[in-house]
Chain A
Amino acid sequence: EAGVAQSPRYKIIEKRQSVAFWCNPISGHATLYWYQQILGQGPKLLIQFQNNGVVDDSQLPKDRFSAERLKGVDSTLKIQPAKLEDSAVYLCASSVTAATYEQYFGPGTRLTVT
Chain B
Amino acid sequence: GQQVMQIPQYQHVQEGEDFTTYCNSSTTLSNIQWYKQRPGGHPVFLIQLVKSGEVKKQKRLTFQFGEAKKNSSLHITATQTTDVGTYFCAGHGSSNTGKLIFGQGTTLQVKP
A positions within 8 Å CB-CB of B:
31, 33, 40-45, 48, 50, 55-56, 91, 93, 95, 97-108
* 8 closest residue pairs by CB, A with B: A42-B102, A98-B98, A102-B45, A105-B42, A105-B43, A42-B104, A43-B102, A100-B31
Q: B90-112 toward A: CB 8 Å interface, digit per residue (1/0)?
A: 10100011111111110000000
Give the residue among B45, B48, B100 with the most A Cβ atoms within 10 A. Answer: B100
Instruction: Tally chain B residues at the interface, Cβ within 8 Å.
Output: 24
B97 lies within 8 A of A45 (CB): no
Chain B's nearest CB lies how many Å from the CB of A107? 6
Closest A residue to B10 by beta carbon equals A40
Interface pairs (9), CB distance under 8 Å:
A41-B105, A55-B97, A55-B99, A91-B42, A100-B31, A100-B92, A100-B96, A103-B33, A108-B42
A99 lies within 8 A of B43 (CB): no
B102 lies within 8 A of A48 (CB): no
Give the residue among B31, B43, B101, B102 with the most A Cβ atoms within 10 A. Answer: B43
B positions within 8 Å CB-CB of A:
4, 30-31, 33, 41-45, 48, 50, 88, 90, 92, 96-105
Which residues of A have CB within 8 Å of B102? 42-44
